[in-house]
Amino acid sequence: MVRPSLAFCLVVAGLSSVLSATWGTELVFEGASLSAYGKLLTAWVLIALLSTMGPLVLLTPQLLRARRRGRRDFGKLATSYTRQFENKWIHSTPEARLLGTSDLQSLADLGGSFQVVRDMRAFLFQGKDLVVVLLASAGPMLPLLLTQVPLREILERLLEVMMR
C-alpha cells in the first residue's frame, strides 16, 4: 500500500469511530433509524476515498507521460543495442570469446531496466489499498449495523450476493 494513504487510514478509522459513536448514541437514546444514516455513510466513505487516494490520482497524467517517454526512449536504446549485439555475436564471427564478455551482462541489465519502465503503473495505488480505506471508513460502523440487523442475516445476505 502507498504509505501516506496507510497513515491517513488511521485518521479515517478514528473519525469513523467518532461518527459511529455519535450515530450509535442517536440510535439507542433518541430512537433514530439506521436507514437515516445510509446516505451519510456513503458520503463519508466517498470523502475518505477522495481524501486518501485523490491526491495520488492527480499524479496519473505525469506517470503516464513518463511511462510513454520511457518506453519510447528505452525502446530505441534496447532496439539499437540488441541489433548491435546480434550483428556482433550472431551474424558474424566474433573476434573475442563469448564467455567473460561484458556484452551479455549489459544486455541483461538493459532488459531489466526496460522491464521496470514497461511495468510502470499509471496509479500509485492498487485495489487492495482501496479496500483498506473502505474498511477504515466503514468498519467502525459494523457494530451499529449489528444493533439493528442480526449477524446471521447479514452473513446470509452476503452469501446470497456472492452466489449470484
Q: List all residues 6 or more positions away from 79 whose beta carbon is below 8 Å from its beta carbon.
A: none
pLDDT score recorded for residue 2: 55
Domain regions of the chain by residue span: 3-58+124-163, 60-118
- Model pTM greater than 0.75? no
The cell numbers describing 150, all together, are 442480526
* Measured distance CA(52)–CA(13) in Å, rounded: 12
Q: List all residues 6 or more positions away from 6 whose beta carbon is below 8 Å from its beta carbon.
A: 129, 132
Return the closest-CA partner of residue 52 out of 13, 97, 91, 95.
Answer: 13
String of b and e for 118-155 (b: at least 16 CB within 10 Å)?
Answer: eeeeeebbeeebeebbeebbbebbeebbeeeeeeeeee
pLDDT score recorded for residue 1: 46
Return the closest-CA partner of residue 102 out of 91, 89, 92.
Answer: 89
* Measured distance CA(71)–CA(65) in Å, rounded: 10
pLDDT (tens digit per residue) in 27-59: 888 888 888 888 999 999 999 999 998 888 898
- Count how many Cα atoms sit within 13 Å of the Cα of residue 89 in the half-sphere of its side chain: 14
